[in-house]
Structure 1
Amino acid sequence: MFFYFDFITWFKLVRLVSQEKKAKRRRSAYRYLLLTIPLRAMGHALCFFLDGILFPGLWFTKVRNPVFIIGHARSGTTLAHRLMCEDQRFSAFKYYELLLPSLIEKKLVRLAAWVDRTILGRSIERRLQAWEDKKFGPMRHIHKMGLTIPEEDDLVLFSSCASGFWATRVPNMDDVDFFHIDQRPPASRRRLMGFYRECVRRQMYLNGGNVIHLSKNPVFCGRVEAVIEAFPDARFVVLYRNPYETIPSLLKLLHTGWKIQGEIDKQKAARSSRVSVEISYESYLHPDEVLARHPEVPRAIIDYRQLVAEPKATMERVYTELGIPMTEQFRRVLEEEQNKSGRHETAHRYSLEEFGLDDTEIRQRLAPLFERFNWDADMPEIKKPKEAAKA
């Protein structure tokens, strides 16, 4: 399998950079897109090709019955993923492993980590921790990130210019689409998902082979059909949370990411925000529509409120519906989590008005889900921007 690179999206990104009015930002973006990304992709491509030669056992590694956790961003997918990662039968990507899609690269990092622990007294580890604090610090109050923390699979496509994480770097969501993979031509969809499957296979080989891949990806709400095509025996866990909480929370995350890149064009940010809201509606509705066409696909639906209040009972039901027997070791983990239930909090505050959102529009667009999950009964207080800042 050869390394995948989305040249169409790459050319779009280069074109968008040419429209940047500030010369300093334009030069920096050009260096990144015309030099850093191509060099990085070529290095990954070489290592990706050599994987099958240096590790022949890779060809015998099979991806069987993977589990995909999906749902609108900020809907509890991270919490569900963290809980299921405690089950040792699952294999998941860590952040640094997503940045290094080839098996050779991952093996070299693990070797360097061993040398650092046994010979260098963890000096490299301490420097990396300092870098982590600087890199991820501004975002950790919204989403906890770190090099060794499990993260969204979609990041493995970043150097291929095919990852939704690009949306946090460029506020051009009206020009570049990372969400609607199910609507792409079949050949294009197969190339992308075929490469992703190869990345998953390498991760499973690294983690022992005889494991179950566990994926957490909000952006995969737009590629459920593509996932089923690439993984016919896939199983899904779908999270639902009140959109009055999730949609402004996602917008806050995106705007924070854009601000980190520097001052942004307000009109461009506003257009991208509107596109994000439309995608949010699809994130809630599209998975249900696709899974309804595939009744044979195992799935479990999680109400975020139940996951937070009763994690043990919720996960026991999920395992039953997915046909996964629960081990006693994992059951004890859930019991410990149950003792902490209700403490899952975030310092992140949301406000519909801050982003010009209309609660009436949200209620109308997602009316079937409001009735299904009775979100009206516990509708959160919608704070004004100044009130949210004081909270």
Structure 2
Amino acid sequence: MTVPRMCELLSKGPNLHWTRAGHIAFLPFMGLYNSVMSGAESLIYGSRIKKVKLEKPPVFILGFWRSGTTLLHNLMTSDPQFSYPTMYETLFPSHFLVTEKINTTLTAPFVPKSRPMDNMPVAWDVPQEDEVALCILTLISPYSLLAYPHDVDENIPSLHVESLPEAKKQRWKDALDRFVRKLTVRSKKQIVLKSPSHTYRIETLLKMYPDAKFVYIYRNPLDVFNSTCHLRRTMIQENTLGRPIFKDVEQEVKRLYRLAFDRYQTDKQLIPEGHLHEVRYESLAAEPVEEMEKIYASLNLDHVDEMKKAVEPQVEKLKNYKKNKFDPDPVLAKEIYTEFRDAYEKYGYQPPLPDLE
């Protein structure tokens, strides 16, 4: 995050807490470093970034948090015909073209081996969601909520870019456009982007990339709810600059899920025929190669045989992956089914309890 964005972030949250002193003390140094390196990148690559053209439109992976978007992203980006933003590029989006090679080499031994919320492998070069970069570049993102969990109502509008004031909308679009251009400077391959937040932004994405293709992944609503609540608590604990606040997590997740489901059902009608494929998480996890073949056929993607070869090692890793387990709660199960029965019925999931049938 550069100095201007850092000042904006700090101005939003009066509730800094002494227990986060280590996080806060580190911010000025990183802000200055990022600003200097961003200027250097603009001097060296500015002209190339402006002139570069996408040979193919991006592929966007959509779906609510904990619906399997990371699994799908990892499978698709194992295909060598695609490019993707790495973890380093999303954490340092303002200067990765000039710093990625040296910084990842120097710091690789210090990177955690897995994500705290779900044990997925972590490294500087693994695929990462572009929402992290957009948050750092613009603060127009629900992820800024992680720094100040009390600002829920202020951050919800950032999900639907079309409803933002014109200046903020343009800032967000410019940031995505520049980030995609920079990825294209780094590699001419077709880019696969994954962000649950993009599920709310189909209208904007189509205006920017009319020929973009989309893959939407869905999962059992109760599993999604339990896992997303766990994710939010973990990420708030890791990232907040104030005292961690968890009391409203369940209600926030319900609110976000309802908004995502309704927005997607409306906006998917805007996507041209042949540019959208929907996949069930449980089917993808059970038969990844077969489901990937369906995605490629539906979206008219090339090099299916190469994809199958590339996906096989990922399938082996899947066999050893251990999902988080959550204790069954009949009261919660009934509550989620009652509130999101339309999602259960839309995607063919059975009620979580026999007496709800």
**TM tier, shorter chain?**
0.7 to 0.9
Aligned to 1:362: 336
Cα distance change of structure 1 residues 319 and 258 upon mapping to structure 2, 3 Å threshold: same
CA drift at 1:174: 1.7
**Do the aligned partners of 1:291 and 1:297 also contact (CA within 8 Å) in 2?**
no
Cα distance change of structure 1 residues 165 and 52 upon mapping to structure 2, 3 Å threshold: same
Query: C-alpha distance in 1, partners of 2:202/2:49?
Result: 30
**Do the aligned partners of 2:296 and 2:304 also contact (CA within 8 Å) in 1?**
no
Which is further off, 167-176 or 226-235?
167-176
Scaled by the length of structure 1, what TM-score is found?
0.77
Select 1:109's aligned residue among 100, 104, 118.
Answer: 100
Task: Name the amino acid aligned to 2:60.
Answer: F
Task: Name the amino acid aligned to 2:165.
Answer: P
Select 1:132's aligned residue among 78, 97, 111.
Answer: 111
The answer to whether residue 65 in structure 2 is matched with residue 73 in structure 1 is: yes
Which is further off, 365-374 or 150-159?
365-374
**Do the aligned partners of 2:41 and 2:97 also contact (CA within 8 Å) in 1?**
no
**Do the aligned partners of 1:169 and 1:257 also contact (CA within 8 Å) in 2?**
no
Aligned to 1:85: 77
**Do the aligned partners of 2:90 and 2:133 also contact (CA within 8 Å) in 1?**
yes
Query: C-alpha distance in 1, partners of 2:344/2:275?
Result: 24
RMSD over aligned CA atoms reads 3.5
Task: Name the amino acid aligned to 2:297.
Answer: T
Listed one character per residue, the Cα deviations across residues 158-187 of structure 1 (whole Å, up to 9, x for unaligned) are 433334433334322424414333421344
Task: Name the amino acid aligned to 1:238.
Answer: Y
**Do the aligned partners of 1:308 and 1:341 also contact (CA within 8 Å) in 2?**
no
Listed one character per residue, the Cα deviations across residues 52-80 of structure 1 (whole Å, up to 9, x for unaligned) are 44x53761332632100010111111111
The answer to whether residue 326 in structure 2 is matched with residue 350 in structure 1 is: yes
* Equivalenced residues, count: 351
The structure number with the bigger radius of gyration is 1
**Do the aligned partners of 1:235 and 1:298 also contact (CA within 8 Å) in 2?**
yes
Query: C-alpha distance in 2, partners of 1:212/1:26?
Result: 40
**Do the aligned partners of 1:370 and 1:376 also contact (CA within 8 Å) in 2?**
yes
**Do the aligned partners of 1:158 and 1:166 also contact (CA within 8 Å) in 2?**
yes
Unmatched segments (≥5 aa) in structure 1 = 117-123, 382-391
CA drift at 1:346: 3.1
The answer to whether residue 286 in structure 2 is matched with residue 309 in structure 1 is: yes
**Do the aligned partners of 1:69 and 1:217 also contact (CA within 8 Å) in 2?**
yes
Cα distance change of structure 1 residues 380 and 163 upon mapping to structure 2, 3 Å threshold: farther
CA drift at 1:260: 3.5
Aligned to 1:386: none
Query: C-alpha distance in 1, partners of 2:100/2:151?
Result: 34
Task: Name the amino acid aligned to 1:14.
Answer: S
Query: C-alpha distance in 1, partners of 2:4/2:200?
Result: 18
Select 1:19's aligned residue among 8, 11, 15.
Answer: 15
Query: C-alpha distance in 2, partners of 1:112/1:206?
Result: 16
Query: C-alpha distance in 2, partners of 1:311/1:321?
Result: 15
Cα distance change of structure 1 residues 261 and 100 upon mapping to structure 2, 3 Å threshold: closer
The answer to whether residue 175 in structure 2 is matched with residue 195 in structure 1 is: yes
Task: Name the amino acid aligned to 2:48.
Answer: P
**Do the aligned partners of 1:189 and 1:226 also contact (CA within 8 Å) in 2?**
no
Cα distance change of structure 1 residues 171 and 233 upon mapping to structure 2, 3 Å threshold: same
**Do the aligned partners of 1:99 and 1:158 also contact (CA within 8 Å) in 2?**
no
Select 1:185's aligned residue among 150, 155, 165.
Answer: 165
Tell me the secondary structure at the aligned position of residue 255 of structure 1.
helix
CA drift at 1:271: 2.6
Task: Name the amino acid aligned to 1:196.
Answer: L
**Do the aligned partners of 2:333 and 2:353 also contact (CA within 8 Å) in 1?**
no
Aligned to 1:147: 124
Give the % identical residues. Answer: 20
**Do the aligned partners of 1:94 and 1:148 also contact (CA within 8 Å) in 2?**
yes
CA drift at 1:294: 3.7
CA drift at 1:231: 1.4
Query: C-alpha distance in 2, partners of 1:61/1:360?
Result: 51
**Do the aligned partners of 2:217 and 2:279 also contact (CA within 8 Å) in 1?**
yes
**Do the aligned partners of 2:275 and 2:299 also contact (CA within 8 Å) in 1?**
yes
CA drift at 1:302: 0.4
**Do the aligned partners of 1:91 and 1:214 also contact (CA within 8 Å) in 2?**
yes
The answer to whether residue 198 in structure 2 is matched with residue 220 in structure 1 is: yes
Tell me the secondary structure at the aligned position of residue 343 of structure 1.
helix
Task: Name the amino acid aligned to 1:234.
Answer: A
Cα distance change of structure 1 residues 313 and 256 upon mapping to structure 2, 3 Å threshold: same
Residues 1-391 of structure 1: pairs in structure 2 closer than 5 A: 11=8, 13-16=10-13, 18-20=14-16, 22=17, 24-25=18-19, 31=25, 35-36=28-29, 38-40=31-33, 42-43=35-36, 45-53=38-46, 56=48, 59-62=51-54, 64-102=56-94, 105-110=96-101, 124=106, 128-129=108-109, 131-133=110-112, 139=116, 141-160=118-137, 161-177=139-155, 178-207=158-187, 209=188, 211-260=189-238, 268-296=245-273, 298-334=275-311, 340=316, 343=319, 345-351=321-327, 353=329, 358-376=332-350, 379=352
